[in-house]
Each structure stands twice: as structure tokens, then as C-alpha cells.
């Protein structure tokens, strides 16, 4: 069995894309067993060594809400004090509010992200705020981060469907996403939190954002594979012109506040697709697969990634 895809490059696709690795944060946050902080640090270092250009490390969320990430400060200190040194401060961290930002500032972090909702119900369940109130919570966080010289990414969740509200109107997603972006973000990541999106829906949403003034170069996509559509949706976004793709090593992840949110798009599966299209990622697929197989061992369960299972069948 080949360990690399056969390459055939169609016209009209970008030469290179950026993979925004979310495994250490979004991938691990829903694991019931607490992963040792040393293993998390090793996971991040191995992902960086495999060539992932961006690795989101953790979230400064209250430990009561996400116990897995209660060691966020300890993890960042470990990374900064270790081999990464000062470059560890370049790892993005999620900050849900100003208290989270305070912790990121104390550690000298240079990249933060906020996580908003496109729907009323999920805003209430995830943020304990209404759809409109979330902006009042995020605005001072973003303003202070920018004043401190930080880069800010904004996530908007439930862009394609909500388990409580059903289909989310495209115009509602665009209105929320644009408000989040306009607070002062440099990039907006569009999340299919429960994995119900389809290729046509992806194209329609991206076109609507373009029409609202957000170009493809400030948009990222974040797909879940609940219905097996994550790769098809990624290909649709690629054809549309998006060049930043969120993915999770080994297909780890879900959302602790949405039970129907299964694993993220596996980074290995995305890399296989992109390399088969002749698109540069900078990622060493073999090193990435080895890392995800190792993490599957730490978690004591098989990796959901199809590529990992094909290349390391005895994990």
C-alpha cells in the first residue's frame, strides 16, 4: 500500500494552503480521561516537527466547563520553558472572555481566538449569553488583545445547522460572522459544528460572505465529519478559493456542548487530499501519521482517521 497519494493537479486551485491544527485544543477537549500535561506538550511539539504551520495549543476556559483544559497555564509554561522557548508564545490559544485574556497576557501569548455562536440556543448553552450579548462580552476582549499587539482569530460555530434550532439561515450566519470579524479579528473560521453541511451549502455560505465584503483570504473553514461530508466540503471550499483549513490530527474532537458533534476533519485525510491535488502544505505526512498513532496509544483507542488506519493498521 502506498504511503503517499498519486498526484494529479487540476487547474484553478491554489498552489498552497495553510492547515490550522486544532487537535491539542479542540481535539482533546472532549476526551473524558485527562491527558497528562507532558503528553499534551509532546503532542504539540511533534505536530510542529511534522510541519504543521499553526498549532492551537489550548484554551483558557474555566476548568469547571472543560476539565481537560484545566492545565492550560501549566502547558503553556512547559512549552515556553522547553525546546520551543519564546516561539511557544506564538501558539494560538482560545480565550472565552477577558479573564481568559488576562491569563494569555500574563504568559506573553501573541495569538488568541474567540469563539462565538451563529445561533441563539448555542450562545446560551455555550456562553451563557444571548446571541446579541455575546458581542458585548467579546468586544473588550478583542480591543484589549489588539491594544497589546496580539493577533485575534474569531470562530463562529453552528454555521450550517444547530441541533436545537435546525437549519441556520445563511444570512444569519453572515450577520453574526461579520460582526465578530469587525470587532478586530484578522481571520474568521466558519464552523460546521455538528457536521451537517454539504458542498453546495458550503459554496453558498462562502459566496454570501464574499458578497458581504469578506474575501476568501480572511475566511477559514472548520468541518466535522458526522455525516462523512468533511472532505467533500473541504474540496468545495478549496474550489471556491479558501486557503486556510482547520483540522485535527487523527480526527480527534467534538464539542462538549453539542453531543451530536463528532470528530473534526482528520488532518491526515485532508493532507492526503491536498497532496493528491498537488497543493503544498509543508506537512510531512509520515511524521503526522506517526504522531496521531502515538496519540491514539495515549488515549488507548484507535484513531478515527482513515489515512492513519490505512497506513498504521495495527495501532
Domain of residue 240: give its range. Answer: 18-311
- What pTM does this model have? 0.96
Q: Looking at the chain, list the stretches that DSSP marks H as alpha helix, in order from N- to C-terminal side.
A: 37-49, 72-81, 98-106, 120-122, 133-147, 170-182, 199-211, 230-240, 267-276, 285-299, 306-311
Express each pLDDT in 175-208 by its tens digit.
Answer: 999 999 999 999 999 999 999 999 999 999 999 9
Q: How far apart are CA 214 and CA 198, in angstroms?
A: 21
Compute the average pLDDT of residues 130-158.
96
Element (H, E) at 156: strand 151-157
CATH code where residue 264 lies: 3.20.20.70
Catalytic residues: 255
- Going by pLDDT thresholds of 50, 70 and 90, the confidence category of residue 248 is very high
Decide if 82 is inside a domain: yes
Evaluate if residue 146 carries a pLDDT over 90. yes
What local confidence, expressed as pLDDT, does residue 260 receive?
Answer: 46
Express each pLDDT in 79-116 by its tens digit.
Answer: 999 999 999 999 999 999 999 999 999 999 999 999 99
Decide if 232 is inside a domain: yes
- Going by pLDDT thresholds of 50, 70 and 90, the confidence category of residue 147 is very high
219: three-class secondary structure by DSSP = strand
Decide if 2 is inside a domain: no
Evaluate if residue 27 carries a pLDDT over 80. yes
Q: Work out how many domains the chain is built from and give that number.
A: 1
Decide if 225 is inside a domain: yes
What local confidence, expressed as pLDDT, does residue 253 receive?
Answer: 84
Q: How far apart are CA 307 and CA 255, in angstroms?
A: 23
What local confidence, expressed as pLDDT, does residue 109 receive?
Answer: 98
The least confident of 16-20, 121-125, 149-153 is 121-125
Decide if 12 is inside a domain: no
Decide if 61 is inside a domain: yes
What local confidence, expressed as pLDDT, does residue 254 receive?
Answer: 59
Decide if 6 is inside a domain: no
What local confidence, expressed as pLDDT, does residue 225 receive?
Answer: 93
Residues 6+ apart with CB under 8 A from 11: none
Decide if 96 is inside a domain: yes
Amino acid at each position: 500500500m502506498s504511503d503517499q497519494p498519486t498526484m494529479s493537479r487540476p487547474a484553478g486551485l491554489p498552489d498552497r494552503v495553510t492547515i490550522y491544527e486544532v487537535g491539542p485544543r479542540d481535539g482533546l477537549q472532549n476526551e473524558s480521561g485527562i491527558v497528562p500535561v507532558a503528553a499534551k506538550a509532546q503532542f504539540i511539539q511533534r505536530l510542529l516537527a511534522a510541519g504543521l504551520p499553526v498549532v492551537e495549543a489550548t484554551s483558557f476556559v474555566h476548568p469547571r466547563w472543560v476539565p481537560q483544559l484545566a492545565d492550560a497555564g501549566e502547558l503553556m509554561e512547559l512549552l515556553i520553558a522547553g525546546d520551543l522557548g519564546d516561539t511557544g508564545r506564538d501558539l494560538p490559544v482560545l480565550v472565552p472572555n477577558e479573564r481568559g485574556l488576562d491569563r494569555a497576557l500574563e504568559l506573553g501569548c501573541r495569538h488568541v481566538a474567540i469563539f462565538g455562536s451563529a445561533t441563539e440556543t448555542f450562545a446560551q448553552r455555550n456562553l451563557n449569553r444571548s446571541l446579541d450579548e455575546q458581542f458585548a462580552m467579546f468586544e473588550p476582549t478583542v480591543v484589549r488583545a489588539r491594544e497589546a499587539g496580539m493577533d485575534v482569530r474569531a470562530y463562529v460555530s453552528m454555521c450550517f445547522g444547530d441541533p436545537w434550532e435546525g437549519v441556520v439561515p445563511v444570512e444569519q450566519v453572515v450577520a453574526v460572522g461579520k460582526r465578530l470579524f469587525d470587532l478586530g479579528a484578522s481571520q474568521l473560521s466558519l464552523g460546521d459544528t455538528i457536521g451537517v453541511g454539504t458542498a453546495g451549502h458550503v459554496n453558498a455560505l462562502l459566496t454570501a460572505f464574499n458578497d458581504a465584503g469578506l474575501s476568501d483570504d480572511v475566511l477559514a473553514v472548520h468541518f466535522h465529519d458526522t455525516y462523512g461530508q468533511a472532505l467533500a466540503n473541504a474540496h468545495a471550499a478549496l474550489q471556491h478559493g479558501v486557503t486556510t483549513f482547520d483540522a485535527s490530527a487523527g480526527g480527534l474532537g467534538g464539542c462538549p456542548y453539542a453531543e451530536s458533534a463528532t470528530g473534526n476533519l482528520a488532518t491526515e485525510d485532508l493532507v492526503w487530499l491536498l497532496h493528491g491535488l498537488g497543493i503544498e502544505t509543508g506537512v510531512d505526512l509520515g511524521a503526522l501519521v506517526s504522531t496521531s498513532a502515538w496519540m491514539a496509544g495515549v488515549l488507548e483507542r484507535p484513531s478515527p482517521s482513515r489515512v492513519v488506519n490505512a497506513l498504521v493498521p495495527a495501532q
